[in-house]
Amino acid sequence: MEQDRTIFDKDTFLDLTVNMIPLFIMAFFFVLFLPMVYGPFGWDSTYSLLQIGLILVPFGLLAILTYFSAVAIEGDANETEAREAAEADAEAEAAAEAETVDEEADAEADTADPDADADVKTETVDEE
């Protein structure tokens, strides 16, 4: 079985859309605010860095959170698939074992001693 090495498959990407929309919004505001730092109001290091920091710090933290969420979601999906495969293998093995036991019981019944059955019948006839 070939394993998929990507973290962001289709299902994971859909689950993480909740985090990606705010990332796009923050990136938009960063692009919008960046020209204003050097624009008509000039550069004031305190306020300009505060303005950029208030966009970039949450952006970075949300990006990290999104990555770890993707890893957790994908890991849970892989774990669930592995558990289901193990359960299916166990059921198939149990069914094969039960079939083998049934075949052995049928084989023993077919190879039973016919004289033993005759002795039992004679004993019951003698007792009457």
Tell me the CB-side half-sphere exposure of residue 16, using CA atoms within 13 A. Answer: 23
pTM, entire model:
0.54
Residue 4 within any structural domain of the chain: no
Residue 1 within any structural domain of the chain: no
Residue 84 within any structural domain of the chain: yes
Q: Is the pLDDT of residue 117 over 60?
A: no
- Per the listing, tokens 């075949």 go with 103
Given pLDDT bands bounded at 50, 70 and 90, which one contains residue 21? very high
Map 38-83 to HEC letters. Answer: HCCCCCCHHHHHHHHHHHHHHHHHHHHHHHHHHHHHHHHHHHHHHH
- Per the listing, tokens 């933290």 go with 61
- Number of domains composing the chain: 1
Residue 3 within any structural domain of the chain: no
Average pLDDT over residues 120-124: 55
Calculate what percentage of the chain has a pLDDT beyond 90.
14
Higher pLDDT, residue 98 or 66: 66
pLDDT tens digits, one per residue of 85-102: 778 787 878 777 777 777
Measured distance CA(100)–CA(102) in Å, rounded: 5
Residue 2 within any structural domain of the chain: no
